[in-house]
Every structure is written in structure tokens, then in C-alpha cells.
Amino acid sequence: MTTPGVSLVSSGVNPNNSENFSSGVILFVYIITFLIGIPANILAFYTFCCKVCHKPAPIDILLLNLTLSDILFLAFLPFKMKEAMDNQLWNLPLPLCPITEFMFFTTIYTSILFLTGISVERYLSVGHPTVYRKPGRTIYAMVTSVAFWILSVSHCSVVFVMHYSNTSNTANTSQARTKCYEDFSHKQLSVLLPVRLEMFLVLFCFPFIICCFCYISLIHILSMRPKISRRRRLHAIGLALGTLLVFTLCFGPYNVSHIYGFWWKISPPWRVKATLLSTFNACLDPIIFFLSSSDVRSKLMHCLESFRAGLHRHDLDNKPEGS
């Protein structure tokens, strides 16, 4: 019998396509993402918290929420590391399975939505500066942030619906080796696949179109203004291309799997690979922070200078007397 969202795996069954994908590679990506993402996002979070507390601006509120999304993602990443270490088998307490998957997918879509909000802010700051400077826009940014979280959480709550549906058919898995949120019954797929298709359209496709429009328009506007310095123009182009690159490489394949699954009425086994690309987002977002905020750049330079000064003092303290 099959637990909803969790399939029992016997030692005599040949591994499926997702199991053939090297767990070592998955673990390596998780570790690299964690080691790079944690310090970078903590630095960004501290910077934006200071800005929002002293002089909040709409762009800072959006960047703060994007950072918070990445930190939540990284906080649950060790559970995914453990899963990869166990060859994609879920040997942790079973209730952690839906919670981990819920946070994993929710933060993917909150990142998409906040990246879209940032693109709109950047476009308005250059294309419509009068609208951008109107008072009260900070409140709009706060309301928008709450709406983004609610939109993502409400869609990704389907994870809990799938996991706890058909509980009367749930097998006793206390001693069983399991897989987390991968195999589904036909009844479950009839609910899950349309929701995934809607997530592709509402939470990926529409935001991607908005991002493309905002950044292409931004580049066009800057190119038509010769008084703008070449450095600022290249800075804006780098921000635009970086964001669109994150959308395409990190979020594109995973969301395309929703269309594939809806068309073929299955949950694609290669979703593991596609989702793995989304993991890199937590490493790439700090680059967007660096390009978007001069405060993050100054904080980073200050940290580097402090680290360099600390090393210099350490060398002086260990230097032999009289040398």
C-alpha cells in the first residue's frame, strides 16, 4: 500500500529514473548552495533590516522579503541534504516531509514574485520617476509583500493536501524506508496536476512576462538617454540580464515540468533534476542584491576590510620580536 506523497521502497526493486540521478551530485549542489548562500544572505538581511528600520523604501522592503525567502529556504536545506545522503530516501520523522517540501516550493515561488516586484520598482524609478516618488508607496510595497506570501503559501499548501489525503489507505511506515513527496495515486494526480499548471501560469509565466517587459523597457530607456553615464547603463543591463538569467535557468525547467506532467498525466521523474536548478537561486540572489543596493556593496566592502585588518593584526601579533 502507498502512503500519499510517500512511496515505500523495497530493497529488491530497481531504482527509478530519479534514483539513477547521482545523489552525490545533489548533495554537492546543496552543500555549495548552503555554504555560499548563508553568509551572503545574512549580510544582505542585516543590511536591509537596518535600512527598513531607519528609512524604508519600497525597493528595500522587496529586497528584505526576497532575502527572508532565501534564508527560510536555506534553513530547511539540511533536511534535503540528509535525504540526498540517504540516496533520496526519507529516513527523518515523517511529519517533516510535507513541511520541508512545502517550505522548499513556497520559497521558490516567493523568490519569483519578489524578483518580479523588484523589476517593476526598477522600471518605475527610471521610466516613471514621478510615480516612483509619490508618498505612500512604502505601504503599497508592504501590502504587495504580504500578498506575494499569501499567493505562494496558498498554492503550495497543496503539498499538505497530497500528503494527508486518503489517510485511510496509509500504511504503517514507522520502520519502512520511504521516499518523500514523489509517487502519487491517479486520484491525487487529478488534483495535483491542474494546480501545478495554474502555478506555472500564475506564479511563473505571468511574472516572467512582467520581468521581461520591465527590464527590456528599462534598457531601452537608458539607451535613449545619453546623459546617463556608461557605468550606470552597464550596471542596469547587468541587473536586468542577471535577473532574467535566474528566471530562465533556475525556475524555467522546474516550471516546464508542470506542463509536461499535465500533458502526460504524470509526475515527471526528472523533476528532481529540474528542482535542483532552482536551488542555485539562493546563491544567485545575493548577486542581485549586490547590483541593486549600494548599501549591500558598502557593507560587503566593510566586512572585507575588517577581515583584512584582522588578518593583518594577527600577523603582527605572531611576528617574532626583533624581526
Tell me the per-residue pLDDT of 271-315, one tens digit each, with 9 for 90 and over. 888 888 899 888 888 777 666 566 665 666 666 566 566 665 655
DSSP 133-192: T-TTHHHHHHHHHHHHHHHHHHHHTHHHHHHHTTGGG----TTS-EEES----HHHHHHH
**What length does the chain have?**
323
Residue 299 covered by a domain: no
User: Helices 230-245 and 96-127, interaxial angle, to 10°?
Assistant: 150
Q: Is 1 exposed, middle or buried (0-12, 13-18, 19+ CB in 10 A)?
A: exposed
Q: How confident is the model at residue 122 (pLDDT cuts 50, 70, 90)?
A: confident
Residue 316 covered by a domain: no
Residue 15 covered by a domain: no
Percentage of the chain lying above the pLDDT 90 cut: 38
Q: Average pLDDT, stretch 140-160?
A: 95
Residue 62 covered by a domain: yes
Query: What is the structure's pLDDT at 3?
Result: 42
Query: What is the structure's pLDDT at 51?
Result: 84
Residue 40 covered by a domain: yes
The listed range with the strongest mean pLDDT (22-26, 160-164, 169-173) is 160-164
- Res 111 pLDDT > 90: yes
12-56, pLDDT tens digit by residue? 434 444 454 478 888 999 999 999 999 888 988 888 888 888 888
Task: Say which CATH number the domain at 192 has.
Answer: 1.20.1070.10
Rounded Cα gap, residues 269 and 263, in angstroms: 14
Residue predicted with more confidence, 155 or 318: 155
Residue 151 covered by a domain: yes
- Res 169 pLDDT > 50: no
Query: What is the structure's pLDDT at 130?
Result: 77
User: What pTM was computed for the model?
Assistant: 0.83
Query: What is the structure's pLDDT at 6?
Result: 45
Structural domain total, the chain: 1
Average pLDDT over the chain, rounded to whole? 81
172-212, pLDDT tens digit by residue? 444 344 788 887 889 999 999 999 999 999 999 999 999 99
Query: Strand runs (DSSP E) across the chain, as ranges?
Result: 6-8, 178-180
> Measured between alpha carbons, how far is residue 10 from residues 15, 158, 176, 229 in Å?
10, 27, 9, 64
Residue 322 covered by a domain: no
Residue 226 covered by a domain: yes
Q: How confident is the model at residue 1 (pLDDT cuts 50, 70, 90)?
A: very low
Is the Cβ–Cβ distance between 301 and 92 less than 8 Å?
Answer: no
Q: How confident is the model at residue 319 (pLDDT cuts 50, 70, 90)?
A: low
76-108, pLDDT tens digit by residue? 999 999 999 888 889 999 999 999 999 999 999
Query: What is the structure's pLDDT at 11?
Result: 37
Range of the domain at 226: 23-166+177-293
214-237, pLDDT tens digit by residue? 998 988 888 887 777 777 777 777
